[in-house]
């Protein structure tokens, strides 16, 4: 039986697309049952439509607090029998409601070799620090910012830090797409 995944994303969704493709090809023994976004302008919505995957927009400002926001999401996830939550560029911290409901079942990807360069703009942080050892980390989500238990990491050495940041980001994304798929494959299959 295939596992049911929910992908949470706030932006472009290129990692989400890699996961969707791997599920469709049977590489990951799962179905992406729903995509959750907090951004009504996110490109991930177009990806969801193209892939015929249900997509729900949850605007945090509509809710009185984070607790009610997450309770509403949890209701939907429960109704869909979601087993795993996969964060793919989701720009919100996960709170206690979802963390309690999905212990060690919420994954995140981060563009650095954690614990280095947590939070936003990790690639720029590394470049600004003149650090040519970049990387990708997949970790379980906890209440902190990029502090959860590390599952997998892959190092990327950038020889020329003067390359345009978009080129460096593309190199990192290419590793992200492969590492997220292989990690999910190991955990779910």
Active site residues: 110
133-140/106-110 β-pairing? antiparallel
Cα 81 to Cα 40, 98, 157: the distances in Å are: 24, 14, 40
Query: Whole-angstrom Cα distance, residue 36 to residue 60?
Result: 12
Contacts (Cβ under 8 Å, ≥6 apart) of 8: 35, 36, 37, 85, 86, 87, 88, 90
Q: Are 126 and 173 in contact (CB under 8 A)?
A: no
Alpha helix ranges (H) inside 3-160? 14-24, 44-51, 66-79, 96-101, 122-128
């Amino acid at each position: 039986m295939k596992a049911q995944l929910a992908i949470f994303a706030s932006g472009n969704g290129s990692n989400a697309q890699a996961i969707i493709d791997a599920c469709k090809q049977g590489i990951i023994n799962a179905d992406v049952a729903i995509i959750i976004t907090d951004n009504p302008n996110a490109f991930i919505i177009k990806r969801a439509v193209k892939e015929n995957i249900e997509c729900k927009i949850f605007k945090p400002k509509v809710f009185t607090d984070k607790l009610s926001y997450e309770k509403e999401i949890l209701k939907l996830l429960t109704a869909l029998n979601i087993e795993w939550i996969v964060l793919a560029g989701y720009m919100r911290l996960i709170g206690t409601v979802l963390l309690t409901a999905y212990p060690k079942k919420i994954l995140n990807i981060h563009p650095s070799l954690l614990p280095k360069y947590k939070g936003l703009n990790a690639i720029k942080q590394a470049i600004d620090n003149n650090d040519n050892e970049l990387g990708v980390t997949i970790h379980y989500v906890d209440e902190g910012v990029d502090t959860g238990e590390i599952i997998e990491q892959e190092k990327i050495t950038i020889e020329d830090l003067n390359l345009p940041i978009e080129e460096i980001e593309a190199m990192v994304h290419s590793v992200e797409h492969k590492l997220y798929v292989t990690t999910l494959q190991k955990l779910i299959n």
